[in-house]
């Protein structure tokens, strides 16, 4: 198993940004300190063909100017917060309105544009990269100084573990995810990818994709992936031009709601299996989070990606494991508030078979 560190580029203020690569001899993963961003996942097929299954950019400047969140960490609260505000203990906090009247992925000052401190990790059974950052009190309008750690760990079984921890000195909502865009063929559209989910429900949403607090059973609807089907089979039936919906994982129990901000290394559940048949590539997703946003790259058309390639609508799929959107404002959802003295421990594994 190998590790590598190199200079990725220099920001306009003179800050050097590093790129890290980890490899197990069968696949390699690269990531950078800007946004704690995954920049590539390259699979080395037995026939000698290599496939980079991750969309993104070839240069640091591409990520600096990008508005697509390719492969980055989003937070302090991933997804949407309705009306760009919430209250804790009777105090109201106002956030950026960067998604019409709502806040999306932390607002204008998101984690994806911050430089994290990266370091290589090497153990007997895995190699990885650790990123750290202090999110100061008041950043994005959020309360509390939050110490963050992000780990990307690769083992010999082609499991890429994404592990996020956080500690705070003041009660604060927290919801961290990686915004990786996957195309298991490496290019083209993902409509022929097949998907099977262990999920019977999605969150009902109102205008602006803000949850209402209610759950919708997916049975006999275009949202049903409980049996394997292609992403393109029912996508034209989705009024917003594709999937951009939060599915409920088996970590959430509609009866006891025993979930929310994960505070320990709780057991993972298998959420889904994504397949690309032509190249015989499969990816399973395991997580200890209660939700996962399925996004089918509805806004990718015309975005310039790696090697100058112009990406297309539905060119990639995101599977963003997370707490439920707008949780700070919806009492029916498990709390996402992290309290002082507690440690958030969120984990997701992307497991590849090729």
Exposure b/e, 110-129, CB count within 10 A at least 16 = b? bbbebbbebeebeeeebbbb
Spatial strand order in the sheet of 159-168: 117-122, 126-135, 146-155, 159-168, 344-353, 281-287, 269-276, 194-197, 229-230
Distance CA 2, CA 24 (A): 6
Catalytic residue numbers read 179, 320
Q: Which of 294, 340, 334, 286 is nearest to 318 (CA)?
A: 294
Q: Which of 127, 51, 56 is nearest to 354 (CA)?
A: 51
Judged by DSSP in three states, 83 sits in helix
Please answer whether residues 139 and 58 qualify as being in contact, where contact means their C-beta atoms are separated by less than 8 angstroms: no
Q: How crowded is the C-beta side of 117, counted as CA atoms within 13 Å?
A: 7
Q: Which of 151, 147, 170, 103 is nearest to 338 (CA)?
A: 170
Task: At 306, give phi and psi (nearest 5°).
Answer: -60, 140
Token pair listed for 183: 């195309």
Q: What is the DSSP string of 179-239?
A: ---B-TTSSS-STT-EEEES-SEEEEEEGGGEEEEEEEE-TTSTT--SS-EETTSSGGGST
């Amino acid at each position: 198993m190998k590790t590598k560190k190199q200079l990725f580029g220099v920001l306009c203020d003179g800050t050097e940004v590093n790129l890290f690569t980890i490899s197990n001899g069968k696949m390699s993963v690269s990531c950078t300190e800007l946004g704690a961003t995954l920049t590539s996942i390259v699979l080395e097929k037995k026939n000698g063909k290599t496939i980079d299954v991750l969309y993104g950019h070839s240069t640091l400047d591409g990520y600096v100017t990008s508005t697509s969140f390719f492969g980055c960490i989003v937070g302090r609260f991933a997804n949407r917060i309705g009306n760009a505000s919430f209250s804790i203990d009777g105090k109201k906090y106002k956030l950026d309105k960067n998604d019409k009247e709502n806040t999306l992925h932390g607002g204008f000052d998101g984690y994806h544009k911050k430089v994290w401190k990266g370091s290589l990790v090497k153990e007997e059974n895995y190699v990885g990269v650790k990123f750290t950052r202090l999110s100061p009190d008041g950043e994005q309008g959020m309360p509390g100084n939050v110490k963050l750690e992000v780990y990307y760990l690769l083992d010999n079984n082609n499991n890429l573990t994404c592990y996020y921890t956080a500690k705070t000195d003041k009660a604060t909502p927290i919801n961290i995810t990686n915004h990786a865009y996957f195309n298991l063929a490496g290019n083209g559209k993902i409509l022929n990818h097949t998907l099977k989910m262990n999920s019977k429900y999605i969150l009902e949403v109102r205008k602006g994709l803000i949850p209402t607090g209610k759950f919708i059973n997916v049975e006999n609807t275009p949202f049903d992936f409980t049996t394997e089907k292609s992403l393109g089979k029912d996508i034209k039936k989705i009024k917003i031009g594709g999937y951009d919906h939060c599915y409920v994982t088996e970590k959430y129990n509609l009866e006891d709601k025993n979930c929310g901000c994960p505070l320990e290394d709780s057991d993972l559940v298998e959420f889904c299996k994504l397949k690309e048949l032509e190249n015989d590539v499969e990816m399973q997703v395991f997580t200890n989070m209660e939700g996962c946003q399925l996004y089918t790259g509805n806004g990718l058309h015309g975005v310039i990606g790696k090697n100058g390639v112009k990406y297309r609508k539905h060119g990639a799929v995101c599977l963003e494991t997370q707490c439920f959107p707008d949780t700070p404002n919806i009492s029916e959802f498990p709390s996402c508030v992290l309290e002082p003295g507690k440690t958030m421990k969120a984990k997701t594994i992307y497991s590849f078979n090729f």
